[in-house]
Structure 1
Amino acid sequence: MKILFDETYTSTDGKRSSRNIWYGDADLTVDGEYGKTINLKEDFMDDLCEIIKKDFSKNAANEPTETNWYIYGSGVTQDAIEANVRPSIMVREKSDEFITNFNISDHDFAVNIDAILLFKADFEKRLASL
């Protein structure tokens, strides 16, 4: 996984500062029984948490009011109409609360949504303890 951009935007009134960090080439997919699915392995969650923790420590002196991470997968999967879908995970921290969102293919939704929801809940709990 490599960092693509790290940018901070401040509102015109100076009350809000949003740090946005984009990562690319993440190992977001694994081969499943019926095709590629999103990587839900524990070591991948560990890697994500370490990256977020490291990024937090870099901004301790000038803390933004929110931080957003965009993690793009290195590969693509196809949906039912044969469009390519690049899986991504987005994370937002604001006021010490984390929200995550996973962008996945319809195939991944059909065969993997229960596991994704469990991973998402565990991931948010882990992030809350950073």
Structure 2
Amino acid sequence: MKILFDETFTSNDGKQRSRNIWYGYADISVEGMYGKSIKLTEDFMDQLCDIIKKDLSTNKGNAPTETNWYFYGSAVTQDAIGDNIRPTIMVREKAGMFITNFNISDHDFAVNIDAILLFKANLEKRLSSH
């Protein structure tokens, strides 16, 4: 993965600081019988956790009130009406709590939703334990 942007935004009243970090080209797609689909492995979870822990360790000084990560997949898939979908994993840390969300194609929803939900739950649990 390659870092694309790392930006911090402060609210007008100065009370909220949101750090947003975008990473590109995560290798999480595999070719399947009906097209590309997302493949989430333990090694990939390790990589995400390492990146997030490293990024959080650089939040010294004027620390943000929340940090958001956007991990874009390296490949795109078409949905049923022809739109291109790039799998994206988003993670937010706020007050030591982690929330993850996935943008996926309808194909990934049909064939991978159980694995995606399990990965999501395990990632949140693992991040919260650090």
TM bracket, shorter-chain basis: over 0.9
State the shift of 1:33 in Å: 4.3
**Using the alignment, how far apart are the partners of 1:49 and 1:30 within structure 2?**
22
Partner of 1:38: 38
Amino acid at match of 1:67: T
Q: Structure 2-normalised TM-score? A: 0.95
Asked whether the equivalents of residues 76 and 85 of structure 1 are also in contact (C-alpha less than 8 Å), the reply is yes
Partner of 1:3: 3
1:1-130 pair list within 5 angstroms: 1-130=1-130
The range that moved more, 110-119 or 26-35, is 26-35
**Using the alignment, how far apart are the partners of 1:101 and 1:5 within structure 2?**
19
Amino acid at match of 1:126: R
State the shift of 1:24 in Å: 0.7
Provide, for residues 18-73 of structure 1, a one-character-per-residue CA deviation record: whole Å limited to 9, x for no partner: 00001111112123343322121100000000000010011122211000001111
Amino acid at match of 2:128: A
RMSD across aligned positions (CA):
1.1
Asked whether the equivalents of residues 28 and 72 of structure 1 are also in contact (C-alpha less than 8 Å), the reply is no
**Using the alignment, how far apart are the partners of 2:98 and 2:9 within structure 1?**
19
**Using the alignment, how far apart are the partners of 1:21 and 1:120 within structure 2?**
19
The range that moved more, 16-25 or 30-39, is 30-39
Amino acid at match of 1:6: D
What secondary structure sits across from 2:62 in the alignment? Answer: coil
State the shift of 1:82 in Å: 2.0
What secondary structure sits across from 1:37 in the alignment? Answer: strand
State the shift of 1:126 in Å: 0.7
Asked whether the equivalents of residues 68 and 92 of structure 1 are also in contact (C-alpha less than 8 Å), the reply is yes
Structure 1: segments with no counterpart, 5+ residues: none
